Structure 1
Amino acid sequence: MSDTPADPDIVVDPALDPALGTRTYDLDRAHVFHSWSAQGSLAPFVIAGASGSEVWDYDGKRYLDFSSQLVNMNIGHTHPKVVAAIQKQAAELPMVAPAHANLARGEAASRIVAKAGSHFGKVFFTNGGADANENAIRMARLTTGKDKVLSTYRSYHGNTGAAIVATGDWRRVPNEYARGHVHFFGPFLYRSEFWASTPEEESARALHHLERVIVSEGAASIAAILLEGVPGTAGVMVPPPGYLTGVRELCDKYGILLILDEVMSGFGRTGSWFSWQHPLVNPDGIVPDLITFAKGVNSGYVPAGGVVISESISAAFDDQVFPGGLTYSGHPLAMASIVASIDAMEEEGVIENASAIGEKVLGPGLQALADAHPMIGEVRGLGVFWALDLVADRDTREPVAPSVMGALKAELLARGLLPFIADNRLHVVPPCVVTPEECLQGLEIIDEALTAIGG
């Protein structure tokens, strides 16, 4: 890939053909049914190729990928070591039934357990994050003999039977077919449900609320509390001091398992392997009973997810059959990509890079944007996991209108940045391999786009 002297934002690649861009778009609109969408009004962005923190279209125009697609491109696009590992595995053993032993699967599981810590012993592999949460819920119910699962309203856990009902946002409502799910409000000081004025107040009052829900629902009926380590789609909300510790204490007090959903927040996104290991997220070092993961474990190069299982829960199935399985559980191509991804992250200091980018570049840079643009009500985040809460009025914290977010997205795309937008928020979530120079370029584009829409 090289740049033309006339326009450094154009990729020179003889394989790129604008006619293929037209064909891609036409085929998509004719035959592809998109998720979470009214099909008739779609105009999907066409991507021809990608590398590192950039994607490009069939006209050769490059864009900084500050969405990481769906906040999963942690190691960046087309990392050569991960691509090579998939190619090698495809040539040796592209598929094996999950009942058989496979070296790539064993190596992947051992690496994941090592990152989770000594409390954990085994990994159940799934096809993605939603079915990881499904199976964690199943394990909790089977090992406790209880049914209910508590999760927050500001959450997203996937779009399968139990996972979507565990989800708290609007997508749950038309899909409420699973039983035994109860929701509560987690801490979120900027839009507090508890009239709190400090992080400590928010934490204490949110924990009081949770305990009241536990008692009111009947602790003897509750199998698990399911939380995102750092809620992502709901707004990148780092838990306030003492909250995770308090949840762990309530779980222990009432005989409830704690499941932490690290599907989006895991494998480098916050600058730690898992967000619950970050000292600002979990200063007391509490440990969950089950961890779910997907996305960043291999940046989605091949679909994969899983449940990291504590030794005590794993032992419960030594003589009892676990009534669950997936044809592609531990698929060799996915496992090879996990091994290569984790190894490359270690060798290349990717986790450290994400931490440093957040502390030295994105954190200060986004706060500078907030100082310059009254539309930014709050900046939240860690590592390469940030959100700008955009408001029409800083005093009332009224969210900006959807039309404003649409205009912002258009301005960002026009300037060469692919954004992740949810409700009234701009999520700033580049790959963990993003460079300081790319971050500064992205911050400049965001600044220009906010200025253009009157921000």
Structure 2
Amino acid sequence: MTTTESDVLPNGLTIEQARQESARAYELDRKHVFHSWAAQATLKPMVISAAQGSQVWDGEGTRYLDFSSQLIYTNIGHQHPKVVAAIQEQAAKLCTVAPQFVNDARSEAARLIASHTPGDLDHVFFTNGGADAVEHAVRMARLHTGRYKVLARYRSYHGGTQTAINLTGDPRRWPNDTATAGVTHFFGPFLYRSQFHATTEEEECQRALEHLEQTIAFEGPETIAAIILESIPGTAGIMVPPPGYLAGVRELCDRHGIVYIADEVMAGFGRSGKWFSVDHFDVTPDLMTFAKGVNSGYVPLGGVAISQPIYDTFAQRAYPGGLTYSGHPLATAAAVATITAMEDEGVVENAARIGEDVLGPGLRELAAKHPSVGEVRGLGVFWAVEMVSNPQTREPLAPYGGGSEGMNAFVAASKSNGLLSAVNYNRLHMVPPCTVADDEVREALGMLDSALDVADGYVS
């Protein structure tokens, strides 16, 4: 939907003002900004002029439904008034303080986070984002166990810093992998593209656990500090693990004295319809990383939730790590406001209901209608649409690690219809804010339906 010149965007700018600001912003971006994960000279980034709830407006004043949640982090939606107000109030009160000093925003954020973490994960080390949370979780595990090696699954993403990118199990690791990070990869369960020739979830679970057990045995259990798993892998495909898999991983870790790290950076804080995705599987990790949804990305924040045994390791022994901005007051004040609003407004419950009653059923209807959809899968507001060029052979619409004409045409049609969604190789991820309304989901499904007509033209 395109607005008129006299219309006013949610941030108070007229369309003409937005166009003028956007033109200058774009010019300066292309002149000075170096973008991540992109070839710089060919990039044509979209300008965002305004945002509200589940909607954004580009530099021309065109409205889009944001079913990407940006990088899958605006769990409470854009510009939530309670979070914006909390940041403003904290800025007026105390903008910054070094991490060795107590500040009330950090203390309350830690209490609120610990009130929702599973089991005995009652201590919180704050970081600036998800990648450094993973870095510190691995460091803690190595120091706690006296071991070095870490196991991580293929089809995963853990961040862009050195250890985190080496843990990552997708092609973004390849140019950065020096094979010196002490990381071994294994296959996790993914029935649609099973590595284990499984035909049922039960077979997939059993065979995936047997594969992991053998990997541990051949790597040497006494050499392994940790196993790290996204509770539900995010950008790698939103593959919900089968019942019993994470419990099996927990048992293997207990048997061999291995630290179990749950990566909840993307999957946490309501995204799957639970406070943390690991809650779906009734297991408690030893360490849990988080970021993104803890304050919907309004101010950079991440962290590690720490179990009592690992806390005890550092009770009388200094932990050799820290960050200048750990527990920054503006970021943690935003977290306090976000978590409080989520509690008061039933945001997690809304995400669960949307997934069960509206988004999940709607995506399954589209899958039955369109031959270009091989599978839809997910929970809450955390869904993937697996695109194929041949539904019988399950040939992906774009190759692993690459793109294709068909996928490009499909993505362009989605955007032209007014739908922003996250895309990775042959997958479209439908990941709106946890606050999304029923009518917005239905509108987005209509936009997707039309775009899938384009993708169907590339099916053989």
Instruction: Assess, with a 3 A threshold, how the Cα gap between structure 1 residues 107 and 12 changes in structure 2: closer, same or farther.
Output: closer
Q: In 1, distance between residues paired with 2:118 and 2:202?
A: 29
Counterpart of 2:257 (choices 255, 258, 267) is: 255
Cα deviation, residue 59, structure 1: 2.1
Instruction: Report if aligned partners of 2:152, 2:184 keep a CA contact under 8 Å in 1.
Output: yes
Calculate the aligned-residue CA RMSD, in Å. Answer: 1.9
Instruction: Report if aligned partners of 1:156, 1:168 keep a CA contact under 8 Å in 2.
Output: yes
Please name the residue that 1:274 is paired with.
Answer: 276
Instruction: Report if aligned partners of 1:10, 1:60 keep a CA contact under 8 Å in 2.
Output: no
Counterpart of 1:212 (choices 211, 214, 220) is: 214
Instruction: Report if aligned partners of 1:3, 1:12 keep a CA contact under 8 Å in 2.
Output: no
Instruction: Report if aligned partners of 1:4, 1:10 keep a CA contact under 8 Å in 2.
Output: no
Aligned pairs (5 A) from 1:4-403: 13-14=13-14, 16-177=17-178, 178-278=180-280, 282=281, 285-401=282-398, 402-403=404-405
Q: In 2, distance between residues paired with 1:11 and 1:364?
A: 34
Offset from partner CA, 1:240-299 (integer Å, 9 cap, x none): 111001101111111101000000000000000000102xxx1xx121000000000001
SS in 1 for 2:299: coil
Instruction: Assess, with a 3 A threshold, how the Cα gap between structure 1 residues 12 and 324 changes in structure 2: closer, same or farther.
Output: closer
Cα deviation, residue 406, structure 1: 1.2
Offset from partner CA, 1:294-323 (integer Å, 9 cap, x none): 000001100000000001111110110100
Instruction: Report if aligned partners of 1:10, 1:62 keep a CA contact under 8 Å in 2.
Output: no
| Letter aligned with residue 47 of structure 1 | I
Instruction: Assess, with a 3 A threshold, how the Cα gap between structure 1 residues 408 and 301 changes in structure 2: closer, same or farther.
Output: same
Q: In 2, distance between residues paired with 1:274 and 1:76?
A: 18
Offset from partner CA, 1:120-174 (integer Å, 9 cap, x none): 2210000000000000000000000000000001100000011000001111122
Structure 1 gap ranges (5+) = none
Cα deviation, residue 24, structure 1: 1.6
Q: In 1, distance between residues paired with 2:3 and 2:156?
A: 42
Offset from partner CA, 1:389-445 (integer Å, 9 cap, x none): 000111110001322221112111111111211010000000000000000000000
Q: In 1, distance between residues paired with 2:322 and 2:96?
A: 16
Q: In 2, distance between residues paired with 1:8 and 1:367?
A: 37
Aligned residues: 449
| TM-score normalised according to structure 1 size | 0.96
Offset from partner CA, 1:189-226 (integer Å, 9 cap, x none): 00000000000000000000001100100000000000
Q: In 2, distance between residues paired with 1:353 and 1:185?
A: 33
Q: In 1, distance between residues paired with 2:323 and 2:304?
A: 13
Counterpart of 1:443 (choices 442, 445, 457) is: 445
Please name the residue that 2:401 is paired with.
Answer: none
Cα deviation, residue 5, structure 1: 12
Offset from partner CA, 1:57-111 (integer Å, 9 cap, x none): 2322110001000000100000000000000011111000000011000000010
Q: In 1, distance between residues paired with 2:183 and 2:233?
A: 18
Offset from partner CA, 1:362-401 (integer Å, 9 cap, x none): 0000000001101000001000000000001111100013
Q: In 2, distance between residues paired with 1:10 and 1:327?
A: 35
| Letter aligned with residue 234 of structure 2 | G
Instruction: Report if aligned partners of 2:53, 2:79 keep a CA contact under 8 Å in 1.
Output: yes
Instruction: Assess, with a 3 A threshold, how the Cα gap between structure 1 residues 50 and 267 changes in structure 2: closer, same or farther.
Output: same
| Letter aligned with residue 70 of structure 2 | Q
Q: In 2, distance between residues paired with 1:289 and 1:452?
A: 46
Q: In 1, distance between residues paired with 2:275 and 2:456?
A: 38
Q: In 2, distance between residues paired with 1:3 and 1:132?
A: 41
Instruction: Report if aligned partners of 2:119, 2:284 keep a CA contact under 8 Å in 1.
Output: no
Q: In 2, distance between residues paired with 1:117 and 1:185?
A: 26
| Letter aligned with residue 306 of structure 2 | I
Please name the residue that 1:431 is paired with.
Answer: 433
Instruction: Report if aligned partners of 1:207, 1:247 keep a CA contact under 8 Å in 2.
Output: yes
SS in 1 for 2:386: strand
Offset from partner CA, 1:328-367 (integer Å, 9 cap, x none): 0000000000000000001011000000000000000000
Offset from partner CA, 1:12-70 (integer Å, 9 cap, x none): 84273312222221111111111111111101011011000000023221100010000
Identity over the aligned pairs, expressed in percent? Answer: 59
Cα deviation, residue 6, structure 1: 11
Instruction: Assess, with a 3 A threshold, how the Cα gap between structure 1 residues 406 and 12 changes in structure 2: closer, same or farther.
Output: farther
Q: In 1, distance between residues paired with 2:222 and 2:285?
A: 20
